[in-house]
Structure formats: C-alpha cells, structure tokens
Structure 1
C-alpha cells in the first residue's frame, strides 16, 4: 500500500501543476487558475506531509514541524485580527484617499466583522425563536464558507494573471484611463499605468525594433476639464515618445467602452486585434481581460503597481464587481443554501 501512495501522491502534484500551466497558457485571467493553484498547494502539502512521515530523517521531521507551526500561527493571527486589520486599513485609505463610499469598504467590513459575534448572540440566541435561529445560523455558515472560498480563489487568480510577460512583438498597447487631478493633471495612479506602457514600448523597440501604437483611452468626466485620453497623450509626449506612435481615445466613460472604442482605433490603423496588450493597475487586470475579449480582442494585460495600503480595498471592490457580473449564478447558490438550511432544520 505504501508503494502505491509513493507513486500516486507525487502523480497528483504533477497533474495539478500540468493543469495549472495549461490553464494559464489558454487564459491568463481565469478563475480556474486560482482554483488549480490552490489544488497544487494542497497536493504539495500532501506530498511534504507524506514523505516526512515515512522518512527516518529527524531533520526533515523538524523542518516539517516548524513550517506547520509557523503556518498555523500566521493563520491564527489573521483569523483573530482580521477585523482589526481591515479597520486599520480602512482608516489609512480614508486619510489618504477621497472620502467616497467605495474607499470605505474595508472599514465597513472590518466594523461589521468586529460586532458580528455580538449581533449573532443577540439575534440568533435571544430574539429569534427556534428553529428559525438554527436555520439562519446554518445558512450563514454555508454562505460565509462560499464567499470566503471564492474570494480566496479570486485573489489567487488576480495574483496569477500578473505573471504574464508578453513577447516584444505587439502591434498596440492600450492604456486604460483613470480620474485626473484638478481636472487636467495625470494622477500618480494613472502615471504608473502610462509609465508601465512606456517601459514596454521602449523595451520592445530595443529588442525587436517594432514600434507599437500606444492608445491612451479615457473620456471626459463631469469634473474634468479635458478628456483623460488627451491628458494621457500629453503625458506620453512629454516623455519623448514619437508622436506618430501615440493616439488618444477620448470618448469612453468606463472600462467596457475603453476596449470597445480602442478596438475601433485598432481597426482604423489596420492592426491585428489579437496582437496587443493593455495596461492597468495590477488588481484590475483580471476583470479587464474579460472586457477586452468581449470587445473582440484576445489580448491580456500587464499591471502597474498599486500602493500597498490601497490594495485590500481595491481587491474587494473588484471581487464585488465580479460577483455582480455573475449575479444570477450566485443568487442560485444562495437560494440553494436557503433550501438546505430550511430542509435540514425542519
């Protein structure tokens, strides 16, 4: 039996790695990438555990024990302090960013998680009679497990899609716009996107000699004096880029239109719509890839760095957007949980 496990367990890890590599090759921004990466971690853990147990090496046993303890300590601290960490992050975002509802997400979630045990005790133990309190409790447990699981897989998928390294042979680079400062100035966040595009542009020219077209995509918001695309193009030109290699798309008002109108520019210049890339912030690449594909461009994106303090808030916002894109499927899952909770406690 041990011999069977010695072949089967490593084979499981090899299969998971192979499926992950194939999935990433086919689609850089796929939910399956995060799931398969998680399965690969489980398979790797199983391999380490199995071979540590059957080994006679005391050093290997000690290393495995220390790693296990460290992982348990880290997970315990995260579980115990997650509400405090979210509140702390929310306060930082509140101080450094504008005071919009979207920027309050981590603060709101942190406060809710902090008071949830009290609310649960009051409502499920004191106010709501049996068996209804048990139904609600069972439904809450299933829903929480579902949300946490898909959020973990989503976060891994977002992280994985940023490992994409495009070949220096592209016809175009689409830079997705963001809000302007004082109505006409490129913000630091937007500048990071443009600089990332310029870095790729210059690297491609130095490697292959091919000049890609930089498409600065962004319309004019209600509080902006000029379109984002125009401000972005001016910024690019100030960096000494050939004016013939830069064009402004100044009609779009959201990411979907960014790609739809940029596709028209690509067609107008008679470029291959599947031989390009787009640039946005690293947290936005996953969702934006789907919009690019829907616009008729089978392209992937490269991400610019996002300030660490803003990343948790941004990831949660992206996650909510993904949930809303698949709201029917998620609604059916929630309804299934309701049925299970009611049937189980009747």
Structure 2
C-alpha cells in the first residue's frame, strides 16, 4: 500500500520533468507540478501515520489549522492589496480600462464572498439547487486553472537560454510620440545586455526589432527600436527591422520568416526579449508560430505587475476559449439536466 501511494507523486514528478524539459512554455506544466506537490503532501501525511510517528495527530492537524486560520486573512489581505494596487496604478498610468483589472478582480472576489455569506440558494426552489452547485464548480474550475497558470508562469521564469543564439527578437509594445517609452526600452535593454554577454564568449547574435506602425505613429516600432539600440552602441549591421507585425503572434511569425530566409528553416537558435510578465504568453505564441524560442524578461515595476498578470491570465483564457467553453458548458449542462430531473420527480 505504501509503495502504491508513493508511486503517485513520483509519477506526477516524472511526467512534470518530461513535459518541462521538453517545453517549459506549456500550461500543463503547472498542473503536473501542482499535482506532484499535493500528492507528495498526502504521501508525507500517510507515511507519518504509517510509521506511527510521535504526536502524529498534532503534527498533522497543525498545518490544517494554520490553513483554516490563514486563508480568511489571506483573502482579506488580497482584496485590500488589489484595491490599493488599482488606486496606485490609476494614479501613475491613467484611468484607462486596462488599468482597472485589479479593481475589477477585487470586486469579483468580494462579490463571491458576499454571495457565499448571503447563500442565495435559500431563496429559490429546491429543484434549482443543482444549478447553484454547477456554478460553484465553475468557480472552482476557474480558481484551479488560475493557480495552474501562476505555477506554470513561475516555473517558466527559471528558464535561462544558452549564450549560443543566432537571433534575439525584441517584441514591440507601442511608441509614445514616435519615441521608445520606458516599458519598451526595458525590453531593448534586456536584449542589449544579452548581446554583450554572448559577445564575450562567442559570436554576437543579430537583433530583430519586431513591430509595425500604428495609426497614430509616424514611424514603425521597429525603426524606433533600432535607432534606440544603435544609440546604445549596437552596430547597425547586427540589427534587423521587422516592421509589419501588429500583434505578438505576428511578431513571432514574421520574425521566423526573416530567420528562415537568412539561415534556412529551423537552422538557427533564437530567443525573444519582452517584459517578465509577458514571457509565458509570448512563449505560447512562439510555439504556435513554429519557433523553438525561449524568452528573456526585463523587470517590471512592482505596482504594474499585478494588473499585468491579470491581463495576461485573461489573454491565456481567451487563447483556450473553446476548451473552456466546452468544459463550462458540460458542467452547467449536466447541472441543468439534474435540475430538470429534480423538478420532474419533486
């Protein structure tokens, strides 16, 4: 029995290592790693009981009591932190919709707590209870998916590309008055730093500046980024413009065409430079474009990070919208079926 239980976390660990070493950009890495941690915790608890360890009930009960006490305070701290972050972000970055995501998230969490306290099920007929149960399962599914995303995102941050790259793709993020703003400058600076570090040990890579021209921009992002890098001391012969793309996916796809034309299809090593919060999603787009490229991320101001992470999560959900729609539809469809059966036999 003990060996069987021990084999479960071991299986999760092996599957995680295979998946992560094969491709750190996969969302399933978070699921497998979380599966390993949870099953390993239960194995440790079972093993402690199995060997009849001293004070076993106290030892096992302590982390559970700690969780019961800390979770409510943690949720309240999270809500307060999200409200405060929304205030700071709107003051520093302006009162635009995309800067209000942490505010919206705080309101949603607060609403879910109030709904749980009020318990609206009591105001509806008993045969509708399965629908409330289904809605609860959807919330659990979203929370688990979000947790897996955060884990996969964190694991992806540990990836360190080798200094043997042929190309660095710098992803555009928009210009302000036809000049490179601080957010985009940090991406270019990250690429420049890698360029110099690789140059110390081998031939320097070519830097591809990827970004088209917006309707309110006098020049393309690629041109502005190239000028910024040349001013920072990068030889212009080591820079390339990709000035057609208007999205992260096009950044990857159009840059791949340039690299394929220069070195032959797939006959090169490449990485991309972006902000650290954008690494995971950009990596997914790179895989979709057929690039075996990992990312290097520039640091992001702490006040900007929570809102950016919410935006990244929403974008990842949208990328898998068909799968999520199918899962949620199955849950609510089955709940509706149970409600109809309950109504007919009540």
CA distance in structure 2 between the aligned counterparts of 1:84 and 1:31, rounded to whole angstroms? 29
What does residue 257 of structure 2 align with? 264
1:146–1:263 CA distance, 2 compared to 1 (3 A) = same
Q: Which residue of 2 aligns with 1:102?
A: 98
CA distance in structure 1 between the partners assigned to 2:98 and 2:291 by the alignment: 30
* 1:151-300 correspondence runs (5 A): 151-181=146-176, 183-207=177-201, 209-270=202-263, 273=266, 275-300=269-294
- Aligned: 1:306 with 2:310: no
Q: TM-score, normalised by structure 2?
A: 0.87
Alignment deviations for residues 44-90 of structure 1 (CA, whole Å, 9 cap, x no partner): 32343344445677699988776666555443322344333322222
Q: Report the counterpart of residue 73 of structure 2 in structure 1.
A: 77
Q: CA deviation at 1:215?
A: 0.5
Deviation string 1:285-338 (CA, Å, 9 cap, x unpaired) is 222222222323222222222222222222221221222222222111121122
Task: Provide the C-alpha distance between the structure 2 equivalents of 1:60 and 1:170, rounded to a whole number of angstroms.
Answer: 53
CA gap 1:64/1:136 in 2 versus in 1, 3 angstroms? closer
Give the TM-score of the pair, scaled to structure 1.
0.87
CA RMSD, aligned part only? 2.7
Which moves more between the two structures, 57-66 or 170-179? 57-66
Residue 19 in structure 1 maps to residue 10 in structure 2: no
- Change beyond 3 A, Cα 1:226–1:59: farther
1:245-280: per-residue Cα shift (whole Å, max 9, x none)? 112222211112111221222133225645111111
**Cα distance in 1, alignment partners of residues 227 and 59 from structure 2:** 56
Structure-1 residue corresponding to 2:138: 143
Contact 1:52 1:61 in 2 (8 A): no
Deviation at 1:339, TM superposition (A): 2.0
> Which deviates the most, 47-56 or 216-225?
47-56
CA separation of 1:76 and 1:18: change in aligned 2, threshold 3 A? same
Q: 1:330 aligns with which of 320, 324, 328?
A: 324
Change (3 A) 1:58 1:338: closer
Give the Cα separation in 1 of the matches to 2:160 and 2:126.
55
Distance 1:331 1:52, change over 3 A: same
- Count how many residue pairs are aligned between Structure 1 and Structure 2: 338
Q: Could you tell me how far apart the structure 1 residues matched to 2:121 and 2:52 are?
A: 51
Change (3 A) 1:50 1:124: closer
Structure 1: gaps (5+ residues) = none
Could you list the per-position Cα deviations for residues 104-129 of structure 1 after superposition, in whole angstroms to 9, with x for gaps in the alignment? 11101212332445567496544xx3
Q: SS of 2:24's equivalent?
A: coil
Q: Hey, what's the Cα distance between the residues in 2 that align with 1:227 and 1:212? A: 22
Where do 1:108-127 residues align within 5 Å? 108-118=104-114, 121=118, 124-126=121-123
Give yes or no for the alignment of 1:88 onto 2:84: yes
